[in-house]
Structure 1
């Protein structure tokens, strides 16, 4: 990227590669809908405003122009699709990035399964950020195709585009000081650590949070979700094919809490 040329395009002195004209721009920073043009140079947005020079122009005719959506917690294997087909399904519908915990393919194929998806991710128009699976198998009562130890979690955290530790489903183990669970959390300190704490409240919730876990997507009632917000968790609200919690938890979304 030539920064001098990018600046020149932003000033309006040099033609942009692409001009998106007459769009309604969804400004997520201020909560406004702006009327205007957007110019791009290479893969960068150079400016928003009134521009006239471009190698290619697309008239949006009043269509909305919004940042791509980010799915903050998913397991793409649940779709039963190859990574390329998953991208083909979601990108045209506005999801341009996903944060995915590959614990399902890891339960079947171990590290080989993780590497398969990660290798494909480099070839796709969908940005994939990965969480190192923390609970493979989910419980010691299960039989699975692989086990991921604390040593392997450390190895996975060094992979490209791995940003943290996936949902710590073993919440009883964390609360009771299970050595392996705490070792995995310790390895990931300083990174994002996702939670999984259905029904956890009171002192047990405090104990879980004290380990450094940041988020939860398992809340099903207003009271449970409210307590987790008050204790500092980021709350993800599910509304999917199986779990439908939006109606119950929507009152928690206010001007004070929407960033959590």
Structure 2
């Protein structure tokens, strides 16, 4: 046993050889019980045994590390593959991280299903921030927060027929929500800045309305019109079969 430190505490002379053999794995199985019994009663030999175990573990770690370093130094092909492996692992890790970030932090978008979800929710619950549509200061505040200008609904003998207006922040982005009833049926109009909330309209029926091209959807018993003009996005929603959005659209005065 040539790896014993000279400064180590030595055990009982008659037990040193047996303890060394047990640590090296060379002790006969029939002798193990006798050595363990002695270690339980002799503190000096117990300390000697623990020191041997610690030294052996350090030697094993050093041995494998030195063998690996020697193999890398002497084998050019192994070095090349090791470098390639490091770059591949870094590339995969970066790709996985990027994909995870994209999955967790996908920016919000205005889609038909999102618009219908807002219609369903805010037909029952007012937006987080509401104001009187006839209030000039409230409209100015909404324009500042949502980055869109006020929209009017002009009905006969009523220059601004919206019953309530406000800002919805369900998506983490402010958008203007206008609400009223026609023949006791809900009508909702959404106005949003597409720089903050991009419009993503899937394939659908398109309707020409003057110079506008409207996308028409009928989903979940809701009739929806979606369109964009510059950086302004619009959505008009009514119950399907109850109201015709194309009859309401002419009364909406866009900015």
> TM-score over 0.5 for the alignment?
no
TM-score, normalization: structure 1?
0.24
TM-score, normalization: structure 2?
0.24
